[in-house]
A and B are shown apart, each in its own frame.
Chain A
Amino acid sequence: MSQEELVVERARRSFQTGRSKPLEFRLQQLRRLQSFLKERQEDIKDALQKDLGKSGCASELYELLVVEAELQLSLTRLAEWAAPRPVEKNLFTLSDEVYVRPEPLGVVLIVGPWNYPWSLTLLPLVGAIAAGNAAIVKPSEISSTSSTVIKQLLPLYLDKDLYQVVEGGVPETQQLLKQRFDHIFYTGSTAVGKLVMEAAAPHLTPVTLELGGKSPCYIDKDCDIRIACRRITWAKLINCGQTCIAPDFILCEPSVQNRVVEEIRRCVKEFYADSPKTSDDYGRIINQRQFKRIVGLMEGCTIAFGGDADESQGYIGPTVLKNVTGDSRVMQEEIFGPLLPIVTVQSVDEAIHFINEREKPLALYVFSHNVKLIEKVLAETSSGALVANDCIVHFLDSALPFGGVGHSGMGRYRGRHTFDQLSNLRSCMIKQLKMEGLNSMRYPPHSTKKLGWARRFLLSQLNVQKLRNMAMLAMLTCLAAFVVQSANQCWHHRRIIYWKLVHEACPAYCLVPKAIILLRIISSKAASFTQTTALSLRDNVFLSRKPAHTSTLLLITQHASLPLVEGLLCSAVPALKLSSRCRSSAAGVQSGPSLYWSKHFIFVLM
């Protein structure tokens, strides 16, 4: 048995014990990962400095912060994500329970890249832990220091059996890919992506591939070119251009090309001072092979500025290439370095054509004041994501699914999307062994009459949710009409009953009614009101003290109608929004026969 085989076997066995499933366990592991990031920040920054020449601040900003945010989000939302998700019912499933339940998949393989060795390796891991899976983490061997640190430190914080780290290069990865996983999450290049998917095929393992591509950046001539270039320069030169979503090349009209070059030159100077080589914030190319490849890409292009390189340090200066044509070398592959070619196009149509002629990119950037133009680009192109008037920042927004399409990858992640991606969304339907009569329409011997019934049932476009909403509205209207008729009673009782109703029927949401009452205290005759409020606050005896009022329906209709509507509204609105949680709290209310009707209303409303 090879080492890789043993590792996967161990992870699978511990997954099968089921200990990764309880939410408490997942939360605990996520918290440990959080403390790992906090306590070992120095080790991480050192490793990044050695691998990619990233400064401490840059490491924190581009690598750690996003993982911290993801952890925080997962910790606060996990219970919500992992809860069963009820689906719409139809006539057939009216009396059944129908829901989608996210379940762990099993053992997930995470193969990380070298350009952001921490964030792009740990983000999927956060999702894998959150979804209750076991995970094998394979950091990139190219960013060797980070890889070693992950291998050494991660097991000190996370469960050693469930989440293991495997180090190694191509042979080890190949060995790993021969094992059977329940999901493979790969971040890297398109060429390797194909190999990963091919290796996954014999086991029918689903894959998420986060690949790269040449992300175009179109600058409209009528936009604020200064701000646009600032944002582009920043995005392009982070991590020395080694970012999968960095703008790969610029498309703009010939008339603005020179201004774009000038503005970028200015921004480079502003960001990295006069010599980027000595700036702490400017990174280095990962290794000699990549260095040679990138320098080779410059061949045959007009260098507008930059172009300086120092092989011994892996340094390539920020470089802008002018008047680049579609068939030049730098346009044939993803650059992944600090070269920014400018391709001139005559119009937005030509730009769209240029983009559509190539593989679908991971991201597409448009800079324009013109909303119509942005919409046109959006509608007529395809890409993993579209960002208008900024670069890269969509990666920070965990509400947006992040992922490619076509050659830039498949599957998506970040936040809840990672959780869903690494979960089995199992559809569940719980029926009763009753009402067999209804089923006779589906049983043989089949007849035209039975078919007619089935047709009616299946094709009926009844939307249960809608019906319920309509019923609720109708009831509210009735109630309102009723209220208008009968609301002619004294203030005093109303207030008290209203207060009690709301307070008891909906304790979880009494904050809002309380706020309303506070408002009332301010706005109406304060003295009598505070007295009665105090009364009802002191104990719950009010209703029993006045037996005449305990016959509730009468009481409510005569004395509390208007405030009741108000109270119901206040409690119903959040109840609608968070019906499941409210249901339990409302169900917990047992006291007082006088509350029967109010409760009834709230139940109906839900």
Chain B
Amino acid sequence: MSREQQAVARARKAFETGRSRPLEYRIIQLKNLQRLFIERQKEISDAVKKDLNKSEVGTQLYETLGLEGEISLAIRKLREWAAPRPVEKNLLTLSDTVYIQPEPLGVVLIIGAWNYPWAVTVQPLIGAIAAGNAAVVKPSEVCVHTAKVMEDLLPLYIDKELYPVVTGGVPETQELLRQRFDHIFYTGNSTVGKVIMEAAAKNLTPLTLELGGKSPCYIDKNCDISIACRRITWGKYTNCGQTCIAPDYILCDPSIQDRVIEEVKKSIKDFYTEKPKTCPDYGRIINQRHFKRIMALVGDSAVAAGGDGDESDCFIAPTVLRDVKPDAKVMQEEIFGPLLPILPVSGLDEAIKFINKREKPLVLYVFSADEKVINRMRDETSSGGFLANDCLVHFSVSSLPFGGVGNSGMGCYHGKFSFDQLSHLRGCLIKKLKMEGVNNMRYPPHTPKKLGCARFFILKTFDLGWVGRMLLLALMAVVAAFVLQVRETQAKSKKMLLFLFVCLFVSFHVFS
């Protein structure tokens, strides 16, 4: 039995004991996880510093802060999420109990990515714990130090049988993928995503794929270019461009290209001083392989800013490329590095056409002061997310589902969406062994008369929620009329009655 097989078997056995199911247990585990981020901040940021040269503050800002928020949200809302969700009733189910019951799926495999080794690995884990699953966590082997820290620290805080950490490279991952899981959650690139889906097909395992893609960024010429470029610069060069939702390239009118370049340059200076290489807030490329790949992408494009790199340090300066052609090398794959190509397009129409010709991106950015431009861009394109006038920040909004479409992935997560994604939403219909007479219409021998009856019951769609609301309103109206009646004769009791009124309203509000 391989190590991977053992870990999965142990997790499944622990899951089958049912101890991951009680809400109290899930909350305890989440609280322990929360404690990990408070107590071990130093070890976490040291490892990330070694892997990606992120500063301590940067690690907190981009990695652990979001996780802390997510955990506290899950702890607060778990009871609400896990409660049965009643559905609308119809004539046939009038006297029955009908609801959707979220249930744990079983053992979830979480394969993390290296660019935000904590954020994208632990965030699905939070969902898995909240949903009551067991989870096998496989941090990316590319982040050597972080993977080690994760392997050491997680078992100290959360149940080590239910949530084992398995480290390793490609062979270990392949071995893991041969095991049977109840869900696979993968964050990474499209090529590996396809391999994972193929492996999952053998066991019919559902999956969530958080992939990348070239996220376009369109700048309208009539917007505040200086603010737009500040936000783009921040979005692009955070973590040295190694962000799956970083704006990949800029589309703008040729007339504003020079201004955009100037503003981006100015913002780079603002953020990372004159010498980004010595700036503690500027990251590094993860390894030599990626360094070479990114440097090669510059190819024949004209460099407007930056362009220098230092292989020994895996440093690539914030780089802007101008007048890039659609067939340039840098436009053929996701950049995942600090290169920002600018492609001049003659207007919104051409930009939309350009975007639609390519794979659906994970996110689409538009900068414009004109609502019409934003709406047209939104209506005529497709992408996982759509963000107007800012970059990256939609990731931090846990009430929005985060995920891709087409080549940028499938499934979504964050907040309640993680919970739902890693739960089985089981339809439940609880009837009584009574009223057998009503069922006669469905039993053979079938006759047109019975059929007519069935037709009535099935096709008459009453919205019972609406009927209920109306009934309540009618009740309130009656109470109101009553109050007015009594008021005339008995003015003294009106305080009481008014109070009653307010109470009724409050109760209605709470009830609804």
Residues in chain A within 8 A of chain B (CB atoms): 16, 18, 55, 57-58, 60-61, 65-66, 68-69, 72-73, 76, 87-90, 92-93, 98, 100-101, 103, 105-106, 182, 190, 193-195, 197-198, 200-202, 204, 206, 209, 211, 223-224, 227-228, 230-231, 234, 270-273, 279-282, 367, 369, 374, 378-380, 382-390, 393-394, 396-397, 399-402, 405-407, 409-412, 424-434, 436, 439, 442-448, 450-451, 454-455, 458-459, 461, 469, 473, 476-477, 480, 483-484, 487, 491, 512, 515-516, 519-520, 523-524, 562, 565-566, 569-570, 572-574, 576-577
Chain B positions 381 through 399: 1 when the CB is less than 8 Å from some CB of chain A, otherwise 0: 0111111111001101111
Across-interface contacts of B282 in A (CB, < 8 A): 444
Whether B481 lies near A458 (C-beta < 8 A) is: no
Across-interface contacts of B261 in A (CB, < 8 A): none
Instruction: Give Cα A367–Cα B430 distance, bound, in whole angstroms.
Output: 10
Across-interface contacts of B211 in A (CB, < 8 A): 204
B227 within 8 A of A: yes
* 14 interchain pairs, CB-CB under 8 A: A18-B380, A98-B400, A190-B204, A230-B443, A389-B431, A400-B429, A430-B374, A439-B231, A442-B61, A447-B57, A469-B509, A520-B481, A566-B480, A577-B512
Q: Which partner residue on chain B sits nearest A233 by CB separation?
A: B443
Question: Which residues 271-285 of B sit at the A interface, judged by CB distance below 8 A?
Answer: 271-273, 279-282
B469 within 8 A of A: yes
B201 within 8 A of A: yes
B299 within 8 A of A: no
Whether B57 lies near A448 (C-beta < 8 A) is: yes
Whether B378 lies near A428 (C-beta < 8 A) is: yes
Across-interface contacts of B386 in A (CB, < 8 A): 101, 426-429
Instruction: Give Cα A197–Cα B184 distance, bound, in whole angstroms.
Output: 14
Across-interface contacts of B223 in A (CB, < 8 A): 433
Across-interface contacts of A484 in B (CB, < 8 A): 494-495, 498
Instruction: Give Cα A432–Cα B458 distance, bound, in whole angstroms.
Output: 48
Chain B positions 90 through 102: 1 when the CB is less than 8 Å from some CB of chain A, otherwise 0: 1011000010110
B451 within 8 A of A: yes
B333 within 8 A of A: no
Across-interface contacts of B396 in A (CB, < 8 A): 92, 458
- 16 extra interface residue pairs, beta carbon distance < 8 Å, beyond A65-B459, A272-B445, A459-B65: A18-B380, A92-B393, A194-B202, A204-B194, A211-B204, A224-B433, A279-B445, A385-B426, A385-B429, A387-B431, A399-B87, A400-B100, A429-B394, A484-B494, A519-B480, A523-B484
Question: Which residues 188-246 of B sit at the A interface, judged by CB distance below 8 A?
Answer: 190, 193-195, 197-198, 200-202, 204, 206, 209, 211, 223-224, 227-228, 230-231, 234
B349 within 8 A of A: no
Whether B61 lies near A72 (C-beta < 8 A) is: no
Contact of B474 among A442, A515, A576 (CB under 8 A): A515
Chain B positions 50 through 72: 1 when the CB is less than 8 Å from some CB of chain A, otherwise 0: 00000101101100011011001
Whether B92 lies near A397 (C-beta < 8 A) is: yes
Contact of A570 among B76, B206, B393, B477 (CB under 8 A): B477
Across-interface contacts of B447 in A (CB, < 8 A): 57
Residues in chain B within 8 A of chain A (CB atoms): 18, 21, 55, 57-58, 60-61, 65-66, 68-69, 72, 76, 87-90, 92-93, 98, 100-101, 103, 105-106, 182, 190, 193-195, 197-198, 200-202, 204, 206, 209, 211, 223-224, 227-228, 230-231, 234, 270-273, 279-282, 356, 367, 369, 374, 378, 380, 382-390, 393-394, 396-402, 405-407, 409-412, 424-434, 436, 439, 442-448, 450-451, 454-455, 458-459, 461, 469, 472-474, 476-478, 480-481, 483-485, 487-488, 494-495, 498-499, 501-502, 505-506, 508-509, 512
Shortest distance between the CB of A462 and any CB in chain B (Å): 12
Contact of A386 among B197, B412, B427 (CB under 8 A): B427
Shortest distance between the CB of A148 and any CB in chain B (Å): 26
Shortest distance between the CB of B183 and any CB in chain A (Å): 9
Instruction: Give Cα A59–Cα B390 distance, bound, in whole angstroms.
Output: 55
The 3 A-B residue pairs whose C-beta atoms are closest, nearest first, are A57-B446, A400-B427, A197-B201
